[in-house]
């Protein structure tokens, strides 16, 4: 998912700002390009617990 989003943004000329956060609360995709859509879109949870 991170790779695909970064590839899309690179092709649009926007760099590769997407990353993932791995923690005890699970995995969260961090996509600052979606800031206008609100924090729930910037910080998208993939899992609710550690994998």
**Residue 32: pLDDT over 80:** yes
Q: How far is CA 37 from CA 16, 23, 33, in A?
A: 18, 24, 9
**Residue 49: pLDDT over 80:** no
The pLDDT confidence band at residue 17, using thresholds 50, 70 and 90, is very high
**Residue 7: pLDDT over 70:** yes
**Residue 29: pLDDT over 70:** yes
Distance CA 27, CA 14 (A): 24
Total-model pTM: 0.83
3-32 b/e with 16+ CB inside 10 Å = b?
Answer: eebbeebeeeeeeeebeeeeeeeebbbebe
**pLDDT computed for residue 50 by the predictor:** 67
């Amino acid at each position: 998912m991170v790779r695909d989003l970064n590839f899309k943004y690179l092709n649009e000329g926007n760099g590769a700002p997407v990353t993932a956060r791995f923690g005890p609360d699970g995995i969260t995709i961090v996509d600052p390009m979606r800031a206008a859509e609100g924090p729930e879109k910037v910080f998208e949870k993939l899992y609710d617990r550690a994998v």
